């Protein structure tokens, strides 16, 4: 699995602790496919691994905390095998909302019809099986062994420090991102985005074996963040960036409508309670939709109404 498992040694018959993928990938990269099909226990483990860089194990009397200082590269498919642009990225991908915010980058790879792109993809796939394609195989400019040694050297010996110029650029970039919202209700950046900018800037400097993070690294990190995560965080209803939808799962327009429905429902329940008339779900929903019709607003569907009713029950109404 991802963490660790307890198995019985076939020779000694003793219980032994075997490391999982995250522990084995310590100081490396852990690649996870079909990320959306993981069970709840595996997702709960990922929270600890991505936040504290450790994996806790308490099985069969064995209690341990193992290092899992690994970067996670995960791929997931949409719920219905097709990405719906009218829904947010959280609604399209069946993943916990708070887990999405822990990734530095969220790339949307959409299958759009394009004659030139489709032709290049088909030629590439066919070249993997044809004789002419095998003969025309492109050789990498850098030998694989040299590249591995380069990456290993950078990981072991290069630890860039943020210069004063880069620190000012980080502060300016974060404040600019925070002020992109059209209203106070829309959150366009969180402290986690600032931490992502710092990590990406340091990694760009490390890739060039530099000991100092420059303002140009911060600018490139900001560009990557905008073309990746911010493209995925666009509210499909307003077309504006809304980072909070990665946390709560819905966009700003839908959150505002939910609050309005909750307030309207509580108002209707209070009026019916004072009049002493009998309350039924259908009668309350009818009154709510009549009020919405008077305001010339869209009528509440079953999901919205029962969601507001659930909030009213939690508040003891």
pLDDT in tens, 62-108: 787 888 888 889 888 887 777 777 777 777 777 776 777 788 888 88
Q: What integer pLDDT is reported at residue 298 of this predicted model?
A: 73
Quick check: 159 pLDDT over 80? yes
User: Which among 180, 184, 281 is positioned nearest to 239, based on CA atoms?
Assistant: 180
Q: What integer pLDDT is reported at residue 131 of this predicted model?
A: 78
Q: What distance in Å separates the CA atoms of residue 275 and residue 232, rounded to the nearest whole number?
A: 48
How confident is residue 146, by pLDDT bands cut at 50, 70 and 90?
very high
For residue 50, with 0-12 CB atoms within 10 Å meaning exposed, 13-18 middle and 19 or more buried, which class applies? middle
Q: What integer pLDDT is reported at residue 249 of this predicted model?
A: 55
Quick check: 186 pLDDT over 60? no
Quick check: 15 pLDDT over 60? yes
Q: What integer pLDDT is reported at residue 3 of this predicted model?
A: 76
Q: Determine contact, residues 254/297, Cβ cutoff 8 Å.
A: no
Quick check: 135 pLDDT over 60? yes
Q: Between 287 and 216, whose confidence is greater?
A: 216
Q: What integer pLDDT is reported at residue 258 of this predicted model?
A: 75
Q: What integer pLDDT is reported at residue 188 of this predicted model?
A: 67
Q: Between 217 and 182, whose confidence is greater?
A: 217
Quick check: 161 pLDDT over 90? yes
User: Which among 267, 262, 239, 242 is positioned nearest to 252, based on CA atoms?
Assistant: 242
Q: What integer pLDDT is reported at residue 147 of this predicted model?
A: 92
Q: What distance in Å separates the CA atoms of residue 194 and residue 191, rounded to the nearest whole number?
A: 5
Binning the chain into helix, strand and coil, the percentages to the nearest 5 are: 50, 10, 35
Q: What integer pLDDT is reported at residue 232 of this predicted model?
A: 67
Angle CA(225)–CA(226)–CA(232) in degrees, nearest 5? 95
Q: How many CB atoms lie within 10 A of CB 151?
A: 13
Looking at residues 40-44, what average pLDDT do you find?
75
Looking at residues 129-133, what average pLDDT do you find?
79
Quick check: 29 pLDDT over 70? yes
In the structure encoding, which two tokens stand for residue 282, read together?
């259908």
Q: Between 228 and 230, whose confidence is greater?
A: 228
Q: Between 147 and 52, whose confidence is greater?
A: 147
Q: Between 229 and 210, whose confidence is greater?
A: 210
Q: What integer pLDDT is reported at residue 168 of this predicted model?
A: 94
SS3 29: strand
pTM flag (> 0.85):
no
How confident is residue 128, by pLDDT bands cut at 50, 70 and 90?
confident
Q: What integer pLDDT is reported at residue 208 of this predicted model?
A: 93
Q: Between 250 and 50, whose confidence is greater?
A: 50
SS3 4: strand
Q: What distance in Å separates the CA atoms of residue 258 and residue 264, rounded to the nearest whole number?
A: 10
Largest CA distance in the chain: 85
Calculated CA dihedral for residues 30, 33, 38, 42, nearest 10 degrees? -10
Total residue count of the chain as it appears in this document: 317
Q: What integer pLDDT is reported at residue 167 of this predicted model?
A: 94
């Amino acid at each position: 699995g991802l963490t660790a498992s307890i198995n019985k040694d076939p020779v000694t018959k003793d219980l032994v602790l075997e490391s999982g993928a995250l522990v084995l990938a310590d100081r490396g990269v852990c690649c996870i496919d079909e990320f959306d099909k993981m069970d709840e226990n595996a997702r709960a483990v990922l929270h600890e691994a991505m936040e504290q860089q450790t994996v806790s194990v308490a099985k069969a009397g064995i209690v341990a905390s193992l290092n899992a200082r690994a970067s996670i590269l995960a791929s997931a498919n949409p719920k219905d095998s097709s990405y719906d642009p009218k829904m947010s990225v959280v609604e399209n991908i069946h993943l916990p909302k708070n887990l999405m915010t822990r990734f530095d980058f969220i790339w949307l790879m959409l299958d759009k019809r394009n004659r030139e792109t489709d032709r290049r993809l088909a030629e590439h796939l066919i070249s993997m099986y044809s004789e002419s394609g095998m003969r025309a195989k492109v050789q990498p400019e850098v030998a694989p062994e040299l590249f591995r040694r380069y990456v290993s050297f950078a990981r072991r010996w290069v630890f860039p420090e943020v210069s004063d110029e880069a620190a000012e650029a980080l502060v300016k970039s974060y404040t600019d991102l925070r002020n992109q919202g059209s209203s106070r209700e829309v959150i366009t950046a969180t402290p986690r985005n600032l931490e992502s900018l710092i990590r990406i800037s340091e990694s760009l400097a490390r890739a060039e074996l530099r000991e100092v993070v420059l303002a140009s690294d911060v600018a490139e990190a900001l560009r990557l963040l905008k073309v990746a995560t911010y493209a995925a965080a666009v509210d499909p209803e307003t077309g504006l960036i809304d980072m909070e939808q990665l946390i709560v799962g819905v966009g700003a327009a839908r959150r505002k409508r939910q609050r309005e429905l909750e307030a309207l429902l509580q108002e209707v329940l209070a009026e019916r309670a004072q009049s002493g008339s009998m309350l039924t779900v259908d009668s309350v929903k009818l009154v709510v939709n009549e009020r919405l019709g008077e305001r010339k607003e869209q009528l509440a569907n079953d999901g919205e109404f029962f969601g507001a009713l659930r909030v009213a029950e939690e508040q003891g109404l």
